[in-house]
Chains A and B, each alone.
Chain A
């Protein structure tokens, strides 16, 4: 396999972008990535997108979007793994370059959620329709059940859950691309309206529009596009049971553990080698379970990490310096690529006020459904 580098990035702001269509968002982010690298052609494009079909009635996105980008004829494929579609698209692009099939590949993610669709219903289609959705459960409901199991087993508190939201909003307030550039207090989180007990509105990531794109090429060619490439050291993907009820321990995200183990092994690194991470905090409890499954903290200690500042900027291992899905926004198909962009900036020393001092190794973790799919990538400063 060849060494692969990320050489440039482009991203729209995340938010309720009423003036922009799905295709507008894709073109804006992709064009920025291409221009930053002064690249005028690509060999292949991978588009991460959860549900263009349900959100805006548009399937067959890959040919549509590359045509809009002026690349009619280019090999293009849409990649879907629910909210992990972006991470899965990056992995497809990585494998394409690593294998030697393609040299210059664009990995983009896009989602247009605010165009009138029944968002709760669309997102629920990432759960098991027959065994879960039929009975009236929602996505916040599934994560609420994960939260209650974690609280029961490990003594995680409502304050612990709220501390994740407070931390990520504090980070997101420093991010010009974030949907919510404002801090929230513990009291605001704990008094926000109930969505699915114990999860409240401010434990939940928002409904967002947005796109993000990165350009990949062999590390040996990276200097043609940038002075500061970032190497992809590892890619791990794993799956678990779709239905939450079928996991023996509902508070343990086994797909996350498996995807991380594969990535750590491929990189030849242990969790202590990671300097900064972007993880899938679709709900506050998700960040808690994910950092345990990534072995950043001992099992059951994920709840304390945000409260004690361990995972805040300036802490032992900053998690979600971008503001995470919670504050930055969560246009589902774009999220996995946006995570990569934050790590790309961090490892190039370009993260501004959010910069983690001397970050050399970064990790992204992107998750689908209630944890049925997870993609982990590890990146290294070159």
Chain B
């Protein structure tokens, strides 16, 4: 992934910047130009809380090449209190405990290394609340 492409995603990935639609109140994460619910084009900025609960989950055993050293690892769709949903890895957990309803925090972590140069790429991972 060339760095400009990575750089463009930084507001969403690093700071969890989202938007609330002025037309219907829907939360958009990541932000986009047109609201998928009402086609509205006016938004107010929202920062997502760094916590949420698991909507659904899996444990990846057959991993993509870049993640093979990490397998098996848990992944989940997490909903924040604002109603945004994120696809994230779940770290520092017992793989079996990541099930629908599990409460998590969202922590800033390294996600992957890109390309031959091994550029470090960051974002958020979920960690179960104890």
- Identify the A interface with B (CB < 8 A): 118, 120-121, 124, 130-138, 140-141, 144-146, 148-149, 152, 193-199, 241, 243-246, 250-251
A–B complex contacts, Cβ < 8 Å, 5 sampled: A118-B65, A124-B64, A138-B64, A149-B56, A245-B87
- Choice from A121, A132, A146, A196 contacting B60 with Cβ under 8 Å: A196
- Choice from B56, B99, B100 contacting A146 with Cβ under 8 Å: B56
A284 to chain B, nearest CB (A): 14
Q: Kindly state the separation between the CA atoms of A278 and B58 in the bound complex, as whole angstroms.
A: 28
Are A120 and B64 neighbours in the complex by a CB distance under 8 Å? yes
- A-contacting residues, B7-56, CB 8 Å: 9, 30, 36, 55-56
Chain A residues near B59 (CB, 8 Å)? 194, 196-197
A130 to chain B, nearest CB (A): 6
Are A241 and B56 neighbours in the complex by a CB distance under 8 Å? no
Are B56 and A141 neighbours in the complex by a CB distance under 8 Å? no
- Choice from A124, A134, A199 contacting B112 with Cβ under 8 Å: A134
A-contact bits for B82-118, CB 8 A (1 contact / 0 none): 0001111100000100011000000000011000000
Apart from the given pairs A135-B111, A199-B58, 11 other A-B contacts in the complex at a CB distance below 8 Å: A124-B64, A135-B87, A136-B70, A137-B75, A144-B58, A149-B56, A194-B72, A197-B59, A245-B86, A250-B55, A251-B56
Q: Kindly state the separation between the CA atoms of A136 and B124 in the bound complex, as whole angstroms.
A: 12
Are A136 and B58 neighbours in the complex by a CB distance under 8 Å? no
Interface hub of A140, A145, A193, A198 (most chain B Cβ within 10 A)? A145
- Choice from A136, A140, A145, A241 contacting B66 with Cβ under 8 Å: A136
Q: Kindly state the separation between the CA atoms of A43 and B58 in the bound complex, as whole angstroms.
A: 48
Chain A residues near B1 (CB, 8 Å)? 134
A373 to chain B, nearest CB (A): 15
Q: Kindly state the separation between the CA atoms of A185 and B20 in the bound complex, as whole angstroms.
A: 50
Given A136-B112, A194-B59: A241 in contact with B36 (beta carbons within 8 A) = yes
Are B62 and A140 neighbours in the complex by a CB distance under 8 Å? yes
Instruction: Give the tally of cross-chain contacts (CB within 8 A).
Output: 100
Are A246 and B75 neighbours in the complex by a CB distance under 8 Å? no
* A132 to chain B: closest residue by CB: B87
Q: Kindly state the separation between the CA atoms of A244 and B87 in the bound complex, as whole angstroms.
A: 8
Q: Kindly state the separation between the CA atoms of A138 and B101 in the bound complex, as whole angstroms.
A: 22
How many interface residues does B have (CB within 8 Å)? 35
Q: Kindly state the separation between the CA atoms of A195 and B77 in the bound complex, as whole angstroms.
A: 18
- Choice from B57, B63, B123 contacting A148 with Cβ under 8 Å: B57
Interface hub of B57, B65, B73 (most chain A Cβ within 10 A)? B57
Interface hub of A124, A241, A243 (most chain B Cβ within 10 A)? A243
Chain B residues near A198 (CB, 8 Å)? 58
Are B86 and A138 neighbours in the complex by a CB distance under 8 Å? no
Chain A residues near B95 (CB, 8 Å)? 197
Q: Kindly state the separation between the CA atoms of A133 and B63 in the bound complex, as whole angstroms.
A: 11
Interface hub of A121, A130, A146 (most chain B Cβ within 10 A)? A130
Q: Kindly state the separation between the CA atoms of A145 and B111 in the bound complex, as whole angstroms.
A: 20
Q: Kindly state the separation between the CA atoms of A212 and B112 in the bound complex, as whole angstroms.
A: 39
B103 to chain A, nearest CB (A): 16
Q: Kindly state the separation between the CA atoms of A346 and B67 in the bound complex, as whole angstroms.
A: 44
A-contact bits for B68-82, CB 8 A (1 contact / 0 none): 001011011100000
Chain A residues near B67 (CB, 8 Å)? 136
Interface hub of A133, A148, A195 (most chain B Cβ within 10 A)? A148
* A197 to chain B: closest residue by CB: B59
Q: Kindly state the separation between the CA atoms of A148 and B63 in the bound complex, as whole angstroms.
A: 18
Closest CB pairs A-B (n = 8) = A144-B58, A245-B85, A149-B56, A197-B59, A136-B67, A145-B56, A194-B61, A245-B77
Q: Kindly state the separation between the CA atoms of A193 and B60 in the bound complex, as whole angstroms.
A: 12
Are B56 and A195 neighbours in the complex by a CB distance under 8 Å? no
Chain B residues near A152 (CB, 8 Å)? 56, 99-100
Given A134-B111, A136-B67, A148-B56: A193 in contact with B61 (beta carbons within 8 A) = yes
Are A135 and B62 neighbours in the complex by a CB distance under 8 Å? no
Are B73 and A196 neighbours in the complex by a CB distance under 8 Å? no
A206 to chain B, nearest CB (A): 13
- Choice from B9, B75, B100 contacting A136 with Cβ under 8 Å: B75
Chain A residues near B9 (CB, 8 Å)? 130, 134
Q: Kindly state the separation between the CA atoms of A196 and B57 in the bound complex, as whole angstroms.
A: 10
Are B89 and A135 neighbours in the complex by a CB distance under 8 Å? yes
Are A141 and B58 neighbours in the complex by a CB distance under 8 Å? yes
Interface hub of B56, B77, B111 (most chain A Cβ within 10 A)? B56
